[in-house]
Amino acid sequence: MAKRRPMTIAEKILATHAGKKEVEPGEIVEAKIDIALGNDITAPLAINELRKVGAKKVFNRKRVVLVMDHFTPNKDIKSATQCKLVREFAREFGIVNYFEGGDVGIEHALLPELGLVVSGDVVVGADSHTCTYGGLGAFATGVGSTDLAFAMITGKLWFRVPQTMKFVFRGRLKKWVSGKDLILHTIGEIGVDGANYRAMEFSGDTIRRLSVDSRLALCNMAIEAGAKAGLIEPDETTEEYVSGRAQRRPRFLRSDADAEYVEAREYDASKIDPLVALPHLPENTRPVTDVAGTPIDQVVIGSCTNGRIEDLAIAARILRGRRVSSSTRLIVIPATPHVYEEALRRGYLRVFLSAGAVISPPTCGPCLGGHMGILAEGERALATTNRNFIGRMGHPKSEVYLANPAVAAATAVRGRIAHPDEVVRH
C-alpha cells in the first residue's frame, strides 16, 4: 500500500474537501465549500450572476452568509440600493445568516465570533481579507464575485493547491507588540508580492502564546503579502475558543512533521518593536521610534484587523484619564455588536468618550474610504486597518499609516506618531 505523502495543513484541508487522500502543490482540485461569504459591495454582483444563469436556490441556506458591513449604516442612495437588493435576495432564497442593522458586525470579526467559521473549514468570500479565518486553522481565501456566485449555487469551487511558506516565530514579545506587528514585520521583509498564491503558515512558541484575537489579526493581512491564505495550526487556545461557539463540528488538522515547504523563515520575536507601515504600501515598515513625531490628523481604531475586544482594551488602557490631542480626531469602531456591548460593560466606551473620541457603530467605514472618517487632501491618518494604498481612506493626496492599537491610542493623545511608552510610563 502506497504511503501518503506528508502534507501541510493547507494541503490537508483541501484534500479533505476534495475527497482525496492527498494533494500536492500545483494540482487543480474541486473542493467543497463550507462557507460562501458576500458583503454589501460584492454580493450584489454575485446575485446578478446567479440570476443570469437562472438559479432558483443556493447549495445550503445556512452556509451562504451575507453581511452588510462596508457602507452601512447606509451612507447614500447607492449603498441603500445595494443593501435592498441583497436583503430581498436573502428573503427570497431563505438565507439564514443575513446580517444588517443592529445585528451586523465587520464580517471577518463576526463570523468567528458567532461560530459560523470553524477550524478545518474551506471558506471563500468576495472580500480579500477572508484569509482572516486562517487564525482558527481554516483554509480561507478571497474570490471574485463570479466565483462567489458559483460557490453559492454549487457549494464547490476549483482551486490550485498552493505551495506553503513557513514562518517560525520564537521568543517572548516586547511590551506593546502584538500579532499586527508580527505580520507587518513579515510583510516588511518579504514584500507585498513575497507570497504570491502561496499559503503562509505561522508557527513557533511565539504564535502559540498569541490570543485568538491576535492570531486573527495576523492572518488577516496575509493577503497584503499576496498570499492565497494564512494559517495557524489549531492548538488548545483554538479549541477552547471554537468549542464554545461552533455551529458545526470543527476539524483540528495539523501539518505533518515532515511536510514540504517551498520556503521557511525563522524570526526572533523578542527583537521586534511596535511597527508602523508608511504610505503607500504595507511593506514600508519602520519601528515606531523611527517615525515618531510625524503629525497625524486622524486616528482610527477598528476594522477586521484590530476592532476586537483585546484591541479596545489596549486602547482604553492608554487613553484612560487622558484626552485626544486638539489637533487630532480619534474614531473608535467596535467590530461587532458583542464587542460593542462588552466594551460598554467594561467601561471602555466611557473612557473613549471622556478622551474625546467618536464611537462608531460596527462598520468597515473609513478603512476602505467608505464613510465615517474620510480624509481630505493633505491629511494624514494612522489606523489599525490593513491597507494603506493611495486614496484608500479618502483623497488621493492623503496618507495612511498602519499600526497596532497601542501605537494608535498613543498617537491620538500626542497628535503625532508616538510610542506607547511616551504616554504610559512603566
Cα separations (Å) of 188 from 44, 209, 230, 333, 397?
35, 22, 16, 26, 23
Q: What is the pLDDT of residue 3?
A: 74
- In this prediction, residue 274 has a pLDDT band, given cuts at 50, 70 and 90, of very high
Q: What is the pLDDT of residue 425?
A: 77
Q: Enumerate the H helices of 160-298 as residue ranges.
A: 179-190, 205-208, 212-220, 236-243, 288-291
Q: What is the pLDDT of residues 25-78, one digit of tens each?
A: 999 999 999 999 999 999 999 999 999 999 999 999 999 999 999 999 999 999
**Mean pLDDT of the chain, nearest integer:** 96
- The amino acid that residue 290 corresponds to is D
Pairing relationship of beta strands 122-125 and 97-99 according to DSSP bridges = unpaired
321 by Cβ neighbours in 10 Å (0-12 / 13-18 / 19+) ranks as exposed
Q: What is the pLDDT of residue 420?
A: 97
Torsion angle defined by CA atoms of residues 193, 199, 205 and 206, in that order, rounded to the nearest 10 degrees: 40
Per-residue pLDDT averaged across 162-168, rounded?
Answer: 98
Classify residue 347 as left (phi > 0), alpha (psi -120 to 50) or beta. Answer: left
Indicate whether 19 pLDDT > 80. Answer: yes
What strands lie across the sheet with 97-99, from one edge to the other?
A: 97-99, 64-67, 35-39, 122-125, 139-142
Instruction: Give me the domains of the chain, ranges plus CATH numbers.
Output: 9-251+260-266 (3.30.499.10), 276-422 (3.30.499.10)
78 phi and psi, to 5 degrees?
Answer: -65, -45
230 by Cβ neighbours in 10 Å (0-12 / 13-18 / 19+) ranks as buried
The angle at the Cα of 408, spanning 366 to 266, to the nearest 5 degrees, equals 105
Q: Which three cell numbers stand for residue 21?
A: 487522500
Q: What is the pLDDT of residues 188-235, one digit of tens each?
A: 999 999 999 999 999 999 999 999 999 999 999 999 999 999 999 999
- In this prediction, residue 4 has a pLDDT band, given cuts at 50, 70 and 90, of confident
DSSP character at residue 137:
T
Q: Which three cell numbers stand for residue 8?
A: 501541510
Indicate whether 177 pLDDT > 90. Answer: yes
- The amino acid that residue 421 corresponds to is D
Indicate whether 426 pLDDT > 60. Answer: no
- The residues, any chain, with a CB within 8 Å of residue 351's CB and separated by 6 or more, are 316, 319, 320
Q: Are 403 and 275 in contact (CB under 8 A)?
A: yes
Q: Are 416 and 292 in contact (CB under 8 A)?
A: yes
159 by Cβ neighbours in 10 Å (0-12 / 13-18 / 19+) ranks as buried
Per-residue pLDDT averaged across 230-249, rounded?
Answer: 94
Q: What is the pLDDT of residue 2?
A: 61
Tell me the percentage of the chain whose pLDDT exceeds 90: 96
* DSSP assignment string, 275-331: EEEPTT-TT-EEEHHHHTT-B-SEEEE-HHHH-SHHHHHHHHHHHTT----TT-EEE
Per-residue pLDDT averaged across 312-316, rounded?
Answer: 98
Q: Are 41 and 171 in contact (CB under 8 A)?
A: no
Q: Are 388 and 398 in contact (CB under 8 A)?
A: no
Indicate whether 1 pLDDT > 70. Answer: no
Per-residue pLDDT averaged across 352-366, rounded?
Answer: 96
* Count helices and strands in the chain by DSSP H and E runs: 15, 18
What is d(CA 269, CA 171) in angstroms, rounded to the nearest whole number?
Answer: 5
Q: What is the pLDDT of residues 66-125, one digit of tens each?
A: 999 999 999 999 999 999 999 999 999 999 999 999 999 999 999 999 999 999 999 999
